[in-house]
């Protein structure tokens, strides 16, 4: 197959790395890609927002299959435009991508189909949202309804913090994404990421992971797109996975089909494992970042065949096998992230830091005058496997010491929950 991968981040580098290993691959292109992806694919200067240009490129290069990485093109309907042109694509329709594109849409779907999630209110003006916050009290969660690059969520521990978050949304802090606000119940428990490949009818479980959203050690500081992850997530026992499928994923698949928007692609459930069982925090309609990096390191099977089966409606004939060894990734971010990351600093030593246990994925890099430079907030994903999470963590942090980038920073406690569990079991 000739394949086009859309995107330019760490998630796409991990997918490119795994797709490139497929024996059924003829040629891999990536638009627009990054310097790391360039080792696996031919990077092309296509704008994913220009759907007609993407379709024209696919026809010119006889592309058999398109894999869409980021959420924005999916919410904008790129999968519909590719399908209309007769091109096979992994990713949901514009209607189905509302599961990520509108938090209010997802909450209403949960209410209609009895999917466990927190109580909520939807608001299009600040006065009503503020009144709801004051009535409910804190802690409480305030979310911009639309896409805000992982930054439109405030977990408010005080009423004033929640009121400030409401005002920030309606004052334009997140652009159009904050024109509507969802205020929802604070869920207490342990967060986990759960993935399913979907083909409109069948949902095939596709791994678990745990992300670290806060920028600082000990889960402190601002929310980010994710500072690191590990897989599998110990909290996601088989019993919890079974409940998640039965109580969340399967009703969602039925509900989306019922409203005329059958879901095809990857369904990423952000879960809170509460005392009452799994509850939905949010759905994403693309692979997680940085969760994809650890999933691809553990996946035994040919990812290209799995993604194509999802696009073709053939997942009922597929299964997924994983390496038992856990994997862990540490995000190296540019100074100033998440507020205003500094770009342009030179990074050295990335290639020599890799080993048979360590794979470094480029997230926000560029090449300038022959040097590798930081070109985003999250810049590198140092990803390692080991017999234990502790061993994987040790390997990742050892690799980081070999990377020469004084302007970068990272959390030093990725995997702490799982390591605490491992120590507890060993005692």
Domain containing residue 229: CATH number: 3.30.470.20
Domain's final residue, options 272, 296, 317: 317
Q: Is residue 120 part of a domain?
A: no
What pLDDT is recorded for position 36? 97
- Tell me whether the omega of the peptide bond preceding residue 338 falls within 30 degrees of 0, making it cis: yes
What pLDDT is recorded for position 173? 82
CB 43 within 8 A of CB 34: yes
Asked whether residue 164 falls in the same domain as residue 213, the answer is: no
CA distance 366 to 17: 18
What pLDDT is recorded for position 154? 87
CA distance 328 to 252: 29
The residues facing 142 across adjacent strands are 154, 183
Strand order in the sheet with 371-374: 346-347, 371-374, 365-368
The pair phi, psi for residue 91, each rounded to 5°, is: 150, 150
What pLDDT is recorded for position 426? 46
CA distance 141 to 118: 10
Task: Provide CB contacts within 8 A for 398, sequence distance 6+.
Answer: none
Query: Dihedral angle at the C-alpha atoms of 265, 270, 274, 276, nearest 10 degrees?
Result: -30
Query: CA of 246: how far to CAs of 53, 171, 202, 203, 210, in Å?
Result: 41, 40, 13, 11, 21
CA distance 105 to 107: 6
Q: Give the SS3 label for residue 297.
A: helix
Q: Is residue 107 part of a domain?
A: no
CA distance 279 to 114: 11
CA distance 354 to 356: 7
- Tell me whether the omega of the peptide bond preceding residue 85 falls within 30 degrees of 0, making it cis: no
17 is written with which tokens? Answer: 């790395």
CB 380 within 8 A of CB 363: yes
Domain's final residue, options 270, 288, 317: 317
CA nearest 53: which of 75, 85, 28? 85
**Residue indicated by tokens 């022959």:** 370
Q: What is the chain's pLDDT, residue by residue, as a tens digit (427 residues)?
A: 999 999 999 999 999 999 999 999 999 999 999 999 999 999 999 999 999 999 999 999 999 999 999 999 999 999 999 999 999 999 999 999 999 999 999 999 999 999 999 999 999 999 999 999 999 999 999 999 888 776 788 889 999 999 999 999 998 888 888 888 999 999 999 999 999 999 999 999 999 999 999 999 999 998 888 999 999 999 999 999 999 999 999 999 999 999 999 999 999 999 999 999 999 999 999 999 999 999 999 999 999 999 999 999 999 999 999 999 999 999 999 999 998 999 999 999 999 999 999 999 999 999 999 999 999 999 999 999 999 999 999 999 999 999 999 999 999 999 999 999 888 854 3
Asked whether residue 365 falls in the same domain as residue 399, the answer is: yes
What pLDDT is recorded for position 424? 82
CB 365 within 8 A of CB 37: no
Q: Is residue 115 part of a domain?
A: no
Asked whether residue 271 falls in the same domain as residue 311, the answer is: yes
The residues facing 412 across adjacent strands are none
179 is written with which tokens? Answer: 């024109």
Q: Is residue 214 part of a domain?
A: yes
Domain's final residue, options 136, 152, 179: 179
CATH code of residue 39 = 3.40.50.20
Q: Is residue 118 part of a domain?
A: no
CB 74 within 8 A of CB 265: yes
CA nearest 109: which of 270, 248, 269? 248
CATH code of residue 331 = 3.90.600.10
Asked whether residue 345 falls in the same domain as residue 299, the answer is: no
Asked whether residue 194 falls in the same domain as residue 313, the answer is: yes
The pTM (predicted TM-score) of the whole model is: 0.94
Domain that residue 384 falls in: 327-423
State the chain's maximal CA–CA distance in angstroms.
61
366 is written with which tokens? Answer: 């560029």
What pLDDT is recorded for position 427? 32
Q: Is residue 264 part of a domain?
A: yes
CA distance 426 to 422: 6
CA distance 347 to 293: 20
CA nearest 400: which of 391, 411, 390? 411
Asked whether residue 245 falls in the same domain as residue 303, the answer is: yes
Overall domain count for the chain:
4
């Amino acid at each position: 197959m000739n394949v086009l991968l859309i995107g330019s981040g760490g998630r796409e580098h991990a997918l490119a790395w795994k797709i490139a290993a497929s024996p059924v691959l003829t040629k891999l292109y990536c638009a627009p890609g990054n310097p790391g992806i360039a080792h696996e694919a031919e990077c092309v200067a296509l704008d994913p927002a220009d759907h007609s240009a993407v379709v024209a490129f696919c026809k010119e290069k006889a592309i058999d299959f398109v894999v869409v990485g980021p959420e924005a093109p999916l919410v904008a309907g790129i999968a519909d435009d590719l399908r209309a042109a007769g091109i096979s694509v992994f990713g949901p329709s514009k209607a189905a991508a509302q599961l990520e594109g509108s938090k209010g849409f997802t909450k209403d779907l949960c209410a209609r189909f009895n999917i466990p999630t927190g109580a909520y209110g939807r608001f299009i003006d600040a006065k009503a949202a503020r009144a709801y916050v004051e009535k409910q009290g804190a802690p409480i969660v305030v979310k911009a309804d639309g896409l805000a690059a992982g930054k439109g969520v405030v977990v408010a521990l005080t009423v004033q913090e929640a009121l400030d978050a409401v005002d920030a949304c309606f004052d334009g802090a997140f652009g159009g994404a904050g024109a509507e606000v969802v205020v929802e119940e604070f869920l207490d428990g342990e967060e986990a990421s759960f993935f399913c490949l979907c083909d409109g009818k069948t949902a095939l479980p596709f791994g678990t992971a745990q992300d670290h959203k806060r920028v600082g050690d000990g889960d402190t500081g601002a929310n980010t797109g994710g500072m690191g992850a590990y897989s599998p997530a110990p909290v996601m026992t088989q019993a919890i996975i079974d409940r998640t499928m039965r109580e969340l994923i399967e009703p969602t698949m039925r509900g989306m089909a019922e409203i005329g928007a059958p879901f095809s692609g990857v369904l990423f459930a952000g879960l809170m494992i509460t005392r009452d069982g799994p509850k939905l925090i949010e759905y994403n309609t693309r692979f997680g970042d940085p969760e994809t990096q650890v999933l691809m390191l553990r996946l035994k099977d040919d990812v290209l065949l799995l993604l194509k089966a999802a696009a073709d409606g053939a997942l009922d004939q597929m299964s997924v096998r994983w390496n038992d060894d856990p994997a862990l990734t540490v995000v190296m971010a540019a100074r100033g992230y998440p507020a205003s990351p500094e770009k342009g600093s030179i990074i050295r030593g990335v290639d020599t830091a890799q080993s048979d246990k360590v794979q470094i994925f480029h997230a926000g890099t560029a090449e300038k005058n022959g040097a590798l430079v930081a070109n985003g907030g999250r810049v590198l994903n140092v990803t390692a496997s080991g017999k234990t999470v502790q061993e994987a963590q040790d390997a990742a942090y050892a690799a980081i010491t070999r990377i020469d980038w004084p302007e970068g920073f990272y959390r030093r406690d990725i995997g702490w929950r799982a390591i605490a569990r491992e120590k507890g079991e060993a005692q």
